[in-house]
Amino acid sequence: MPVATPKQYEAMLDAAQKGGYAYPAVNVTSIVTINAALKAFADAKSDGIIQVSTGGGQFASGLNNSDAAFGAIVLAEATHTLAEKYDVLVALHTDHCHPAKVDGFLRPLLEASRKRIAEGKGPLFNSHMYDGSELPLEENLAMSKSLLEECASLDIILEIEAGVVGGEEDGHDTSGLPAEKLYTTPEDMLAVYENLNGIGRFLFAATFGNVHGAYKPGAVQLKPTILRDGQKAVTDKYGAEAEMDLVFHGGSGSDLSDIRETLGYGVVKMNIDTDTQYSFTRPIVTHICESIEGVLKIDGEVGNKKQYDPRSYLKKAEKSMADRLIVAAEDLLSNGKSIYGTV
């Protein structure tokens, strides 16, 4: 199955909202990590979301290029091709794009989708994230409205953020911000709905203490009820149909009880990156440690080609990452719920 069409992606989000589950959204940086994600979704019989960050795109473009948009296009095109071999729906998304990177990252990707559509194909990406949370809310929403109009004209969904996800990711560090910045208020959620409703479909990353990265248990204090209270403020004023599609950022390492609670408040997508990075790297380290004499040419020896062949450890990494993503699908209750073949 190729990457989901715009209508299929909307159907995926509708099914998750109605069914009380969410999709794992995993960051990829290579063919190997794309294959790990596709294997996981297929094995779990779960639809899912594959996403590319600015740093991931930059990495994928190669050391001599360091071009985030170019690398993202390469990864997206590879996903379109590889996904044809699987019987689940997969959507393509880009992760945090901050205001300073809109012109160099997001707009070239929109142009790539525009060219594909002119050729009779669907857009390159199903959705993009614009993260203007570093700006005052009024400025954030003004840019969000402009980008949503452009995305909607291409049948692309826009994800926006109000409130700040803590920690550091791809060089963007918010760890020094006051704690109150980590929590979206009901007033913020109302403002988002009132400014964006009617322009096009959007996803909203409301923050409730989320933090990127890995932390010991108890270090991150999530407050999922913030999502409940914000949704209530919107639906009390505009009716049940105004409930928004929410996104859970910083899902790695979260307690299962917090994850499951958010599903009842409208979360349809949860980002997972740190945990899958670790699950990818861990078996590589084990392979190197257990095969050190074969991997290295020690004391003039020739080593063992089968052990230093990158395929020998990258296959283990692919499987380990896929296994971790299957757990994510189970945590989010999306396993066994693929709508492939029904839309």
The residues annotated as belonging to the active site are: 95
Name beta bridge partners: 246: 204, 267
Q: Is the dihedral of CA 234, 166, 144, 272 positive or negative?
A: negative
Report d(CA 94, CA 50) in Å as an integer: 8
Which residue type is seen at 47?
Answer: D
Q: Is 296 helix (H, G, I), strand (E, B) or coil?
A: coil
Closest CA to 52 of 35, 81, 74, 36: 74
34 exposure class (CB count in 10 Å sphere: 0-12, 13-18, 19+): buried
- List the structure tokens of 60: 């994928």
- Phi and psi at residue 278, to the nearest 5°: -65, -45
Q: Which pair of tokens denotes residue 116?
A: 């594909």
User: CA angle at residue 201 from 160 to 112, to 5 degrees?
Assistant: 75
Q: Which amino acid is at 101?
A: K
CA-CA distance, 342 to 133, in Å (whole number)?
37
**Stretch (H or E) spanning 188:** helix 186-196
Distances (CA, A) of 225 to 160, 221, 222, 250: 20, 12, 9, 17
- CB of 8 within 8 A of CB of 47? no
How far is residue 258 from each of residues 44, 87, 252, 278, measured CA to CA in Å?
22, 30, 12, 21
What pairing do the DSSP bridges indicate for beta strands 157-162 and 127-130?
Answer: parallel
Q: Can you tell me the distance from the alpha carbon of 12 to that of 8, in angstroms, rounded to the nearest whole number?
A: 6
